[in-house]
Every structure is written in structure tokens, then in C-alpha cells.
Amino acid sequence: MTRNSNKVLPSEAAITGAEAPRVADRSAYQRELDALRVREKAHTRQGDAIAADRRRLPMVEVDASTTLIGAHGPVTLLDTFEGRRQLLAYYFMWYPGAPSQEQCEGCTLYTSQVRELSYLHSRDVTYATFCYGPYEESARYREFMGWTEPWYSVQDSAEALLAGRPFNRFMLVCYLRQEDRIFETYWTTGRGVEAMAPGYAGLLDLTTYGRQESWEDSPSGWPQRWGRNTSEPNPYRTNGRPISQWPRLAAGHSDDLGGRREASGTS
């Protein structure tokens, strides 16, 4: 095929269509990329400005003595800071008694991508999971998934911590400690928690096919396997399970949570 800017990519399955990218020479490609880069940098600066305003939000004090359940029993919210000044807490959805394949696929995705915590610790930030489920059952899920971050149950304390916000909804909350007092400084849910999953929300967004979800504005014919009215309606699941579970099962890890309706292995 001639490398000409008026030509489209070879007609191989999903990359055909009037909107498919042109094949161009290096200089034409770079010109359009440079134009896009201007918009990317403006987007980055706007994000910096939003972050600056976020750092200036008012704070609300929360009860530092609120009790959570950890690996060694009851602890206070203050204890979960592990002596650091800041805490990032991810509120993990839970379905008591349900088998592992029925647990929250989104929470599983986001938590699976938070691995190396030393950089957070260098900034005096502790990261922890606050799970809505009972400790023993949910901690078995943590073990199955191979996660190592601090894990706590807020089954009996979520109502106090959430202060009227919806229960058993995924959420990311930031806290600040001043001596023995604790303040909530920010919280987000929905797509706000995508910051936890750069492999999903960041890296895929850089690729030509993107996230391959039906809501995306992509060229006609681009693969969009996941999303409403597709073969995989839930973008975080495949073959009946949260996607992040499959490597753990393949490696031989047990997904038995000790609940009422356990079923391990493939679906």
C-alpha cells in the first residue's frame, strides 16, 4: 500500500471506515500530534489548577475514635494513619455471603492497581482499604487477590464515617491528621476514583483503540467489546468474573471466602 495521507489503513476487520486514521509521512504525523499536544498541555494545566483549589477546600472534623476492625481486632480511625499525617482510604463495596465472583468488579480493578506504596509513604501518606464487609470474610478476598495494603472492616462504622452519604458505594476519601484530631479534606466516587487505575484509565486512553467501550467516541468500526448492548456489558468483567480474578485463579490461588454460596474455579 502506498504511504499517502489520503489513504486509510488496510481494510482489516475493525480498522476500516471513513473515520479511520490516515497513513501519513512522519512530518505530517508530527504536525497533528503537536497540535494535539497543545490541548493536552492545557488540560494538564487545568488539572493543576483544580488540584490547587482542592488543596484549599475547607475541612470537616471527624471522630478520631471511630472504631474499625483490623487484622488484630478493633482499632481507631486514628490508628489507621500508622503515624503519618495523611490517609487515603478506599471504601470497598461488599456483598456478605456472596462468592468471590460476585464481589465488586470495579473495586477489584481499582484495588488491584494500587501496589507500590513507598512513594505515598515518602509524602507522609498512608493508603488503606475500608471494606464494608465483615473483616474475616473480606480479608480472605484480599488474600486471594494477593493485595498487601492495610485492610479494615467498616461494617459497623461506615454510617458514622459517611455522614449520610450512600452506604456500600465505592468511594475514595482523603483525611488529614493534626495531632489527635482528624479532618476529612476531600472525597470522590464514580469516575473520580479512576486515578487509582492508571492501567485502565490512563494507559488505555493513550492507545489507538482506547478502552474499547461502547460509550467512547471512536472511529466507526473500532473494536468496542465492552459496554451496553455488547458481548461484555460490564467493562470490569469477563466470562462471569471480575477480570483481575482470572490471573489469581490461573496461578492456583483459592477464592474460597468461607461464605454460604462459595463456588471456586472457572465460570
Written out in words, the top-level CATH class of the domain with range 60-194+246-250 is alpha beta
Per-residue pLDDT tens digits for 139-149: 999 999 999 99
Domain boundaries, the chain: 60-194+246-250
Q: What is the pLDDT of residue 231?
A: 86
Contact status, residue 215 vs residue 241, Cβ threshold 8 Å: no
For residue 17, pLDDT over 70 is answered with no
For residue 39, pLDDT over 60 is answered with yes
Per-residue pLDDT tens digits for 174-214: 999 999 999 999 999 999 999 999 999 999 999 999 999 99
Distance of CA 265 to the CA centre of its chain: 25
Q: What is the pLDDT of residue 243?
A: 96
Quote the mean pLDDT of the chain.
91
Per-residue pLDDT tens digits for 220-259: 889 999 998 888 899 999 999 999 999 999 999 999 999 7
